[in-house]
C-alpha cells in the first residue's frame, strides 16, 4: 500500500500541475497523501513540520542566492535594453534570412550568460515574430526555436553555464560549473546542431506545403529604443559572468585558506570543495550586476523598480522548487520508497545510466528540471557517488549526466516554462508543442546517450 500511495501521489502531482494548480499547494498535500497510504496518520503533522518544511527550508538556504542573483541579473539585462541589443545584434550578423538560426543563437547567448529563460522569451519573441513574418516561416515554429536556445544546451550541457540546473550537483559531488567540459561541449553541439537542422527542415517542409506565417492579429510590435546599448557593450556583463565564474572556480577560490569551515558555526566542513561551485557563481553574477548598474547609470528609467522586480521575481521559482524537494524528502522517508529506490538503482550496474533514469523520471513527473534533479540527488546522490567511486567514475561525469538528464523529460506538456512560452507566443500545445518536444526532449536524450557512452568508454574529459 505504501508503494501504491507513492505512485498515486506522483501521478496526481503530474496531472494537477498540468491543470495549473501551484506546486506550493500540491507538494505538501500529496506528500501527506502518500503518508496516509502508508498508514502513518499520527505522523502527518510531524512529517509536515519536521521533514517537509525542514527539507524545503534547507534548499532555500542552499540555493536562494543563485535564484535571487540570476533573476536580478536577468531583469537588469532586460530593463537596460541589453537583452534586446544582443538579439538585434545576432540577427544583424547572422542575417534575417536565417531567422531560425538567429533566434536560437540569440536565446543561447543570453541564457548562457545567466539571463532567465523567461526574460529571454519576452525579449526575443517580438523579434522572432517579425523575422518569421518577413521570411514567411510558420509562426508555430517560434516556440521551438526559443526553447532550443533557452531550455537545452545552455541550460545543462555547456561548461560554465550559471543555470541553476548546472549548480545543483555541486554540493552533492564536490564539483563546479565546468564539470566534464569536453563532454558538455560535445553534447551542446549535438543539441544545437540537430535542433537547428530539424527546425530548418520543418520550416521548408511546411512552406513547401503552402503554409506561411499565418494571420496573427495579436502579434507584438517591435519597439525601437534609441537608447539601447551597442552589441559588444551589451555582451560585456555576459563575458564577465562566464570568465569570473571560471577564474573563481578554478584559480582563486581553491587557493584560499578555508580551514575556518571546520568550526561548528560554519558547518564543520573539512574543506570548501562542496561550496566552491556555488560561491563562484555568486561572485560572478554579483560582479556582473554591479557592472550592469554602473555601465547603464544614465539609462535606467527606474532602477529601484528594476531591482525590486528582479528580487520579487526570484521568489516563486525557488519556493516552487524547494516545495518539490520537500515533497521528495517525505517520499524518500517512506518505507514504500525502498522498492522504488531499489528498482531505480537496479536499472543498471552503471551508475551513470541509473542516475540518468532516476533524474529523467522525477524531472518528468514534477515538470521541473531543477526540482526533479534535486529530489533525485537528495535521495540517491550519496549512493551514486559511492557507486561511481567504486567503479572509478569521476564525480564530474556524474555532475554532467545529472544536469543533462534533468533537461530531457522535464519539458513534458505540464512543464511551467513550456506553458509560459506558449502563452507568450500566443500559441497552443496543439499548434507548437511538437516542435518543443523534439528539441527539448528527443534531441537532449540523444546527447545524453552519447555522453554516457563516451564517459563510460573514455571517462570524464
Lowest mean per-residue pLDDT among 109-123, 146-160, 445-459: 109-123
Q: How confident is the model at residue 436 (pLDDT cuts 50, 70, 90)?
A: very high
Taking a C-beta distance cutoff of 8 angstroms, is the pair 373, 403 a contact?
Answer: yes
216-228: average pLDDT:
66
Cell numbers found for residue 332 = 524518500
User: Which ranges of 225-368 does DSSP label H, i.e. alpha helix?
Assistant: 231-247, 273-295, 303-313, 315-333, 337-345, 351-366
Q: Is the pLDDT of residue 399 over 70?
A: yes
Q: Which of 183, 198, 211, 208 is nearest to 144 (CA)?
A: 198
How far apart CA 119 and CA 117 sit, in angstroms, is 5
- Calpha distance 217→408 (Å, rounded): 34
Integer Cα distance of 293 and 257 in angstroms: 32
Q: How far apart are CA 161 and CA 245, in angstroms?
A: 9
pLDDT for residue 224: 58
Strands (E), 66-179: none
Tell me the per-residue pLDDT of 251-289, one tens digit each, with 9 for 90 and over: 999 999 988 988 888 888 888 888 898 999 999 999 999
- Percent of all residues in the chain with a pLDDT value above 70, rounded to a whole number: 98
Write down the pLDDT at residue 346.
84
- Output the average pLDDT for the chain: 90
CA gap 461, 459 in Å, rounded: 7
pLDDT tens-place string over residues 338-384: 887 788 888 888 999 999 999 998 888 878 898 889 989 988 999 99
**3-state secondary structure at position 382:** helix
- In this model, does residue 416 exceed pLDDT 80? no
* Alpha-carbon separation of residue 270 from 258, 260, 399 (angstroms): 9, 9, 21
Q: How confident is the model at residue 211 (pLDDT cuts 50, 70, 90)?
A: very high
pLDDT tier at 398, thresholds 50, 70, 90:
very high
Expressed in angstroms, the distance from the first to the final Cα of the chain is 45
Has residue 397 got a pLDDT over 70? yes
Mean pLDDT over 74-95 rounds to 89
The one-character DSSP state at 130 is: H
Q: Which 3 state secondary structure label does DSSP give 180? A: coil
Task: Please give the DSSP secondary-structure letter assigned to residue 412.
Answer: S
Helix (H/G/I), strand (E/B), else coil: 72: helix
Q: Which of 305, 138, 170 minimizes the C-alpha distance to 249?
A: 170
Q: Specify the residue for cell string 496526481.
A: 12
Burial class (CB in 10 A: 0-12, 13-18, 19+), 276: buried
DSSP code of residue 219: P
Whole-angstrom CA distances from 246 to 112, 266, 362, 461 are 13, 25, 30, 16
Roughly what angle, to the nearest 10 degrees, separates helices 315-333 and 2-18? 160
Using the predicted structure, report yes or no on whether residue 450 has a pLDDT greater than 80: yes
> Within a 10 A sphere around the Cβ of 260, how many other Cβ atoms?
10
pLDDT of residue 221: 61
Amino acid at each position: 500500500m505504501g508503494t501504491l500511495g507513492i505512485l498515486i501521489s506522483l501521478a496526481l502531482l503530474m496531472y494537477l500541475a498540468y491543470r495549473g494548480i501551484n506546486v506550493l499547494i500540491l507538494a505538501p498535500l500529496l506528500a501527506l497523501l502518500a503518508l496516509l497510504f502508508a498508514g502513518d496518520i499520527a505522523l502527518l503533522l510531524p512529517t509536515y513540520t519536521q521533514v517537509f518544511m525542514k527539507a524545503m527550508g534547507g534548499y532555500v538556504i542552499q540555493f536562494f542566492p543563485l535564484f535571487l542573483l540570476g533573476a536580478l541579473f536577468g531583469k537588469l539585462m532586460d530593463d537596460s535594453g541589453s537583452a534586446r541589443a544582443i538579439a538585434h545584434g545576432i540577427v544583424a550578423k547572422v542575417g534575417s534570412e536565417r531567422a531560425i538560426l538567429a533566434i536560437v543563437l540569440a536565446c543561447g547567448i543570453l541564457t548562457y550568460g545567466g539571463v532567465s529563460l523567461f526574460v529571454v522569451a519576452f525579449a526575443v519573441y517580438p523579434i522572432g515574430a517579425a523575422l518569421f513574418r518577413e521570411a514567411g516561416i510558420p509562426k508555430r515554429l517560434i516556440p521551438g526555436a526559443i526553447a532550443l536556445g533557452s531550455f537545452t544546451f545552455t541550460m545543462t550541457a555547456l561548461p560554465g553555464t550559471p543555470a541553476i540546473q548546472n549548480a545543483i550537483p555541486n554540493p552533492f559531488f564536490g564539483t563546479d560549473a565546468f564539470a566534464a567540459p569536453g563532454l558538455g561541449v560535445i553534447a551542446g553541439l549535438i543539441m544545437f546542431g540537430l535542433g537547428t537542422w530539424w527546425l530548418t527542415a520543418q520550416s521548408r517542409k511546411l512552406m513547401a506545403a503552402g503554409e506561411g506565417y499565418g494571420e496573427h492579429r495579436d502579434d507584438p510590435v517591435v519597439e525601437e529604443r534609441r537608447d539601447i546599448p551597442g552589441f559588444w557593450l551589451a555582451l560585456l556583463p555576459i563575458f564577465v559572468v562566464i570568465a569570473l565564474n571560471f577564474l573563481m572556480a578554478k584559480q582563486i577560490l581553491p587557493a584560499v585558506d578555508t580551514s575556518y569551515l571546520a568550526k561548528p558555526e560554519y558547518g564543520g566542513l573539512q574543506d570548501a570543495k562542496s561550496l566552491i561551485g556555488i560561491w563562484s557563481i555568486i561572485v560572478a553574477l554579483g560582479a556582473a550586476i554591479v557592472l550592469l548598474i554602473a555601465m547603464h547609470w544614465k539609462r535606467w528609467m527606474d532602477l529601484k523598480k528594476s531591482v525590486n522586480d528582479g528580487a520579487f521575481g526570484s521568489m516563486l521559482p525557488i519556493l516552487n522548487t524547494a516545495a518539490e524537494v520537500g515533497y521528495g524528502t517525505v517520499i524518500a522517508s517512506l518505507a514504500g520508497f525502498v522498492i522504488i529506490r531499489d528498482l531505480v538503482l537496479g536499472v543498471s550496474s552503471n551508475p551513470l545510466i541509473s542516475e540518468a533514469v532516476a533524474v529523467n523520471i522525477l524531472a518528468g513527473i514534477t515538470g521541473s528540471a531543477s526540482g526533479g534533479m534535486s529530489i533525485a540527488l537528495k535521495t540517491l546522490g550519496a549512493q551514486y557517488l559511492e557507486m561511481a567511486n567504486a567503479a572509478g567514475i569521476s564525480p564530474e561525469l556524474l555532475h554532467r549526466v545529472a544536469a543533462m538528464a534533468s533537461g530531457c523529460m522535464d519539458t513534458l506538456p505540464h512543464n511551467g516554462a513550456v506553458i509560459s512560452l506558449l502563452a507568450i507566443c500566443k500559441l497552443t500545445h496543439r499548434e507548437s508543442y511538437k516542435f518543443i518536444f523534439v528539441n527539448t526532449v528527443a534531441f537532449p536524450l540523444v546527447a545524453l546517450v552519447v555522453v554516457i557512452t563516451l564517459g563510460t568508454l573514455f571517462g570524464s574529459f
